[in-house]
């Protein structure tokens, strides 16, 4: 835009002095014009000083022509084109136009003059002469180019400096915003304190105030959730524990009573209800936005201990529960209680769906800075369409007769997310029937 505007302005600046020179040439020619009588045409006798003045200018000389209106040429260069007389022309007014003569561009100045002795006559009875003066446009173009260079070149020199200053100003301007962004990114998930606004730019102060208000309301919501979890744990587990104790006492007192079968169902129901409540509370804890401490722990030893606790249950179901690991211990950073619960849910899920006389294997393997805890069984496997949905809450595969709440795998998924771990499910034996299932929880090695 600057170049285009400068070009237009430079053309106007360059035309002004040269057009003034052409106007002076017309003035010289008009003074050399001799008006004759009505019966003789005017004459243009250019004196030597006038000829020298016209031919020794800085613009390589001026070409001229004098012509009677609608008549013959009086004097000058006949090659100069004759402009048409406009309907609203004015006598003695100088007009300009750009013309091309034999491929040569010229600037033409012309005016119509009337015999001063005939000004009282009607216009169509006056004797009129058309005077023309022309010169080449090279000097004008050269002057315009010099003007453009004189203006544009300094601009291009200043442009890098301006860009550097703009970059410096913007970087300084957004520095407080970048600092605020870093402070927010470096915050722990459980840090709901207000954002310091001492270094906050005035432009984003309302945004910071709104965020502080949101953090305050979120903190209140988290505190309310904590209180609810604590109250629910007490209000739900205590009555169930009492009901189970009373049912077990009644069952011991009268083991052969006709209602003993009903008492056993009550005990079994309270056990399932207690487990469901524990799972719901653990789910709430796993979803809690607070950060969890993740100390360095031995994943191999943790998995071995959890597996040993399930051996009696596996023997009762007639399932061969095995454990395998690498020779060296695998170390990770994690919450031992949450990882224990995740393994408990995976092993419990495998024992529930694996048929009798089958195998369930818990394994720990380390490779490529990763530690994988896996549980695989020889069960019927999981349909590919259900592999994504099995981690949804309360989802159960249709057609299964096994009792469950549908929360175990959802809890495992939440625990994996809290540890930034990868949870996968795939067939344990893809080429066999039944294919079985293998759940794998992959953590970063420490």
- Phi and psi (nearest 5°) for 223? -60, -40
Q: Can you tell me the mean pLDDT for 350-377?
A: 91
Residue of higher predicted confidence among 143 and 424 = 424
Residue 401 has pLDDT above 60, yes or no: no
Higher pLDDT, 96 or 238: 96
DSSP state of 125: G
Q: Which domains does the chain have, with CATH numbers?
A: 2-145 (3.30.450), 202-287 (1.20.120), 296-444 (3.30.565.10)
* Between 208 and 222, residue with greater pLDDT: 208
> What percent of the chain stands above pLDDT 70?
89
Helix (H, G, I), strand (E, B) or coil at 109: strand
Taking each helix axis from N to C end, the angle separating 408-418 and 336-353, rounded to the nearest 10 degrees, works out to: 150
pLDDT reading at 121 higher than 90: no
**Average pLDDT value over all residues in the chain:** 82
Please write the tens of the pLDDT for every residue from 27-62. Answer: 888 888 888 766 677 888 788 888 777 765 544 578
The predicted structure's pLDDT at residue 321 = 94
pLDDT at residue 193 tops 60? yes
Interval 277-303: pLDDT, tens: 776 666 666 555 555 678 899 999 999
| Listed residue (361, 360, 355, 295) closest to 331, CA to CA | 295
Q: Encode burial over 316-355: b for 16+ CB neighbours within 10 A, e otherwise.
A: ebebebebebeeeebbbbbbeebbbbbbbbbbbbbbebbe
Residue 366: pLDDT band (50, 70, 90) is very high
pLDDT at 104: 82
| Whether the predicted pLDDT of 388 surpasses 70 | yes
The mean per-residue pLDDT over the stretch 311-318 comes to: 92
């Amino acid at each position: 835009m600057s170049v285009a505007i400068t070009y237009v302005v430079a053309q106007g600046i360059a035309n002004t002095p040269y057009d003034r020179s052409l106007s002076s040439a017309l003035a010289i020619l008009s003074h050399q014009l001799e008006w004759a009588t009505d019966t003789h045409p005017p004459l243009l006798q250019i004196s030597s000083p006038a000829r020298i003045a016209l031919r020794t200018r800085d613009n390589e000389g001026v070409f001229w022509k004098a012509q009677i209106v609608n008549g013959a040429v009086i004097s000058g260069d006949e090659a100069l084109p004759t402009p048409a007389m406009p309907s609203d022309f004015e006598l003695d007014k100088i007009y300009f136009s750009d013309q091309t003569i034999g491929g040569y561009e010229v600037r033409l100045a012309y005016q119509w003059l009337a015999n001063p002795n005939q000004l009282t006559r009607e216009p169509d009875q006056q004797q009129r002469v058309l005077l023309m003066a022309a010169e080449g446009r090279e000097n004008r173009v050269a002057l315009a180019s010099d003007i453009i260079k004189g203006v544009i070149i300094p601009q291009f020199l200043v442009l890098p400096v301006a860009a550097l200053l703009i970059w410096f100003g913007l970087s300084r301007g957004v520095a407080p915003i970048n600092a605020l962004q870093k402070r927010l990114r470096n915050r722990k998930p459980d840090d709901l304190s207000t954002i310091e606004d001492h270094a906050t730019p005035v432009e984003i102060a309302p945004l910071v105030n709104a965020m502080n208000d949101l953090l305050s309301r979120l903190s209140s919501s988290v505190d309310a959730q904590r209180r609810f979890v604590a109250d629910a744990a007490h209000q739900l587990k205590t009555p169930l524990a009492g009901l189970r104790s009373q049912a077990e006492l009644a069952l011991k007192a009268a083991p052969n009573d006709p209602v003993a079968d009903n008492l056993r169902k009550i005990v079994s129901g309270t056990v399932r209800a207690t487990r469901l409540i524990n799972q719901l509370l653990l789910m709430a804890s796993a979803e809690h936005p607070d950060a969890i401490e993740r100390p360095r722990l031995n994943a191999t030893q943790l998995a071995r201990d959890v597996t040993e606790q399930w051996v009696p249950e596996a023997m009762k179901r007639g399932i061969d529960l095995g454990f395998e690991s690498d020779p060296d211990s695998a170390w990770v950073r994690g919450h031992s209680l949450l990882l224990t619960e995740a393994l408990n849910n995976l092993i419990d899920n495998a024992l529930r769906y694996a048929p009798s006389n089958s195998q369930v294997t818990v394994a720990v393997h380390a490779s490529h800075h990763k530690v994988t805890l896996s549980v695989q069984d020889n069960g019927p496997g999981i349909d590919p369409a259900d592999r994504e949905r099995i981690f949804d809450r309360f989802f159960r595969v249709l057609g299964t007769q096994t009792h469950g709440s549908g929360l175990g795998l959802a809890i495992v998924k939440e625990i994996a997310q809290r540890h930034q771990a990868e949870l996968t499910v795939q067939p344990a034996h893809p080429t066999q029937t039944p294919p079985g299932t293998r759940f794998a929880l992959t953590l970063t090695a420490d």
